[in-house]
Structures are given as structure tokens and as C-alpha cells.
């Protein structure tokens, strides 16, 4: 598995409006969550599964801090968007492991409407895991439509568009080491490939 | 009021944002009804309904009504008053209000709008 490489930015991107959670705050909270999860899952040999792409960074850091060894698994589903408005959600990268009878902890970067997780929970419960719980770095309840079984929350956030630490705007800014609100006014018209002209590219 | 469900082709939406939300719900295989019911809010002395509120969507799976507000502040204020009244009269009915800014950010996130 290729994780995002950390890059040393010479300056903060113009798209960053305000840092909401800096590296230290995130690191500290991730350690707390890992401690809680380690206690709850000790001896249960859970499958820890990050939801791509957003939860990749969070999953990496969380797993590093667990008290038991675990190789993270990943799952990815198609995303609603301009190109897929008439389609339907589907799994585009499935888990490696059979989860039947296993304890599963899904890792998400942010939960807003809950529709993505609701879909995943429905699909995964059909595979009869011993248990299924969710850990999210950020919880934004203002937009919640579907209730989902979130057991661990890093931070509660309100109605701001966030980037960094895995969260993107059209695949940009995931590599920022902090979570920040996005200055939507800096987004310029798109290039031919649909990406904003001014955005910094993700480095992998 | 007729019930229309989970098919944009048979629905006539009052606003483009409603059609967009219907598409969003369809994508995630969430069943929906468009304006399936009106909730009486006020009655005259003869008991006739003089004010009602009709949420945009009902999601049976979550037993949740959803109202989109993408209009001007003055109208939002009036709608908020109706929703407060609805919550007073029907406390067991769950309704979620998606305000214009939040909803636009959601569409922005998914690249539907710029």
C-alpha cells in the first residue's frame, strides 16, 4: 500500500482559509482514539478498514498508534458527482479479507450526510461480521440524513468546507498536515481535465 | 397530494435543487417520496386548515422528512417559523432542514457545482 508522502510546503496554499485542527491537535486526538480502540478491541483481532481515499492518512496514523498489530485493509466506493449522477453507488475496491465472524472497524475521514457509510454498512452487514463499528475523524451532523453507528469521533465540526489530512477538493489538498477551512473564492475555472487551475496537486 | 417516489422521470420538482437531491438519493439507493404529505399548522375557528407545511422529501428508510431551503433570507425566516411550529405540533416527526449554504457545499464537495 502506498501512503501519501509528506511534503514540506514552502507556503500555505491560498485555498487554506483557516486552520481548524493543526498537526499537534490531530496527533493528540488520534492517540486518544487509538488508546480507546486498543482497549475495546484488545484480543479481538479486528479488521480495521479505511474508506478510500479520504481516510487513508487518518487510517495510517491511527493504526500506528494501536496497541496491537494490525494490517489495515481498505475499501472504496464510487462517488456521486457530475459524471455519475445517473448511476448508482458501487464498490470499486473491496476488502481483501472475508469479514464473516470478524470484528470490523470502518475508518472514515468525515461523516456528513451519512449516505456513503449507510451504503457500506448495509453491504458489509450482509457479510455477517461479528460486529461493525465506525470511527471518523470528523463528524458533521448538520448534513446528516442517514443515521450510522459511529462509535468513535475525533472532532465535531460545523458547516464549513474542510480540506487537508485526507480531505480533498477534487483530489487536491489531501496532503496538508492539518485540517483547514477552504477559501472557496480562490478556486478558478477548471482545466480540461476538470481540475481547478490554482490548486496544488496531491503528491503520492 | 400524490406520492411520487424514487424516480426523477415521473416527478415534477418545484426547484432544481430538489431534483439534484433526488438524484443524490437515487445514487445511494435511498428510497424517497416527493412532497408526500402536508402537515396542518393552523386552523380557523371552524376548524379549517389555514396554514400547512409540506416538506420536500420523505425518506421511509430513515422515517425522516427533509426540507431544502435555498431561497432568500426573508423566505427562510418564514419557513423556519413553519418548521418550528411543525416541531411543536408533531414532536415525534423527524425533519431535517438542509440550508442553502450547507447544501451548496455538499454539491460543491461532489463537484456537481462550481
The complex's ipTM works out to: 0.74
Q: In this complex, do B27 and A80 lie within 8 Å of one another by their Cβ atoms?
A: yes
The continuous run of DSSP H or E covering B73 comes out as helix B73-89
Q: In this complex, do B26 and A82 lie within 8 Å of one another by their Cβ atoms?
A: no
| pLDDT, tens only, A83-130 | 655 667 888 899 998 999 999 999 999 998 898 899 899 999 999 999
pLDDT > 70? residue B72: no
Tell me the whole-structure pTM to 2 decimals. 0.79
Q: How far apart are CA A134 and CA A120, in angstroms?
A: 11
- Complete DSSP assignment for chain B: ---EES-GGG---SSHHHHHHHHHHHHTT---EES---EEEEE-TTS-EEEEE--SEEEGGGTEEEEEE-S-HHHHHHHHHHHHHHHHH-TTS-EEEEEHHHHHHHHHHTTS--
Residue A109 half-sphere exposure, CB side, CA atoms within 13 Å?
Answer: 22
Distance from CA of B26 to the nearest CA of A (A): 7
Which positions of A are catalytic?
A: 112
Q: Which of the four pLDDT bands, split at 50, 70 and 90, describes residue B114?
A: low
**Residues of B in Cβ contact (< 8 Å) with A142:** 102
When the pLDDT of each residue in chain B is averaged and rounded to a whole number, the result is: 82
3-state helix, strand, coil in chain A (%, to 5): 25, 25, 50
The 10 Å Cβ neighbour count of residue A189 is 8
Q: What is the pLDDT of residue B28?
A: 86
pLDDT > 60? residue A12: yes
Q: Which of the four pLDDT bands, split at 50, 70 and 90, describes residue A195?
A: low
Please name the member of B28, B62, B102 whose beta carbon is closest to the beta carbon of A119.
Answer: B28
Q: What is the pLDDT of residue B112?
A: 60
Q: Which of the four pLDDT bands, split at 50, 70 and 90, describes residue B3?
A: very low
Q: How far apart are CA A109 and CA A94, in angstroms?
A: 18
Q: Which of the four pLDDT bands, split at 50, 70 and 90, describes residue A187?
A: low
Q: How far apart are CA A121 and CA A108, in angstroms?
A: 12
The residue-averaged pLDDT of A161-186 equals 85
- Cα separation of the two ends of chain A: 11
Q: Find the chain A residues whose C-beta atoms sit closer than 8 A to any C-beta of B.
A: 79-82, 84-89, 112-113, 115-116, 118-119, 142-147, 159-161, 169-170, 184, 187, 189-190, 194
Amino acid at each position: 500500500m502506498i501512503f501519501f508522502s509528506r511534503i514540506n510546503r514552502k507556503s500555505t496554499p491560498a485555498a487554506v482559509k483557516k486552520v481548524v485542527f493543526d498537526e499537534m491537535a490531530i496527533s493528540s486526538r488520534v492517540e486518544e482514539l487509538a488508546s480507546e480502540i486498543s482497549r475495546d478491541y484488545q484480543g479481538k483481532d479486528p479488521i480495521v478498514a479505511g474508506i478510500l481515499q479520504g481516510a487513508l492518512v487518518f487510517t495510517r496514523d491511527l493504526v500506528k498508534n494501536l496497541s496491537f498489530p494490525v494490517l489495515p485493509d481498505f475499501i472504496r466506493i464510487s462517488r456521486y458527482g457530475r459524471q455519475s449522477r445517473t448511476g448508482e453507488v458501487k464498490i470499486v475496491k473491496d476488502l481483501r479479507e472475508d469479514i464473516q465472524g470478524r470484528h470490523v472497524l470502518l475508518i472514515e475521514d468525515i461523516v456528513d450526510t451519512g449516505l456513503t457509510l449507510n451504503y457500506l454498512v448495509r453491504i458489509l452487514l450482509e457479510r455477517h461480521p461479528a460486529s461493525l463499528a465506525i470511527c471518523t475523524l470528523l463528524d458533521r451532523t448538520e448534513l446528516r440524513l442517514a443515521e450510522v453507528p459511529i462509535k468513535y469521533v475525533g472532532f465535531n465540526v460545523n458547516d464549513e468546507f474542510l480540506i487537508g489530512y485526507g480531505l480533498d477538493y477534487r483530489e487536491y489538498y489531501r496532503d496538508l498536515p492539518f485540517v483547514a477551512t477552504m477559501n472557496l473564492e480562490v478556486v478558478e475555472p477548471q482545466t480540461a481535465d476538470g481540475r481547478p487551475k490554482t490548486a496544488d496537486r496531491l503528491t503520492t | 397530494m400524490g406520492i411520487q417516489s424514487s424516480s426523477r422521470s415521473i416527478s415534477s420538482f418545484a426547484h432544481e435543487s430538489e431534483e439534484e437531491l433526488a438524484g443524490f438519493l437515487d445514487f445511494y439507493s435511498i428510497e424517497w417520496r416527493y412532497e408526500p404529505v402536508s402537515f396542518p399548522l393552523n386552523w380557523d375557528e371552524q376548524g379549517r386548515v389555514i396554514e400547512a407545511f409540506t416538506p420536500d422529501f420523505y425518506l421511509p428508510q430513515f422515517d425522516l422528512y427533509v426540507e431544502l431551503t435555498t431561497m432568500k433570507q426573508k423566505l427562510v425566516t418564514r419557513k423556519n417559523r413553519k418548521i418550528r411550529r411543525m416541531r411543536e405540533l408533531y414532536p415525534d416527526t423527524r425533519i431535517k432542514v438542509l440550508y442553502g449554504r450547507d447544501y451548496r457545499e455538499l454539491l460543491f464537495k461532489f463537484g456537481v457545482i462550481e
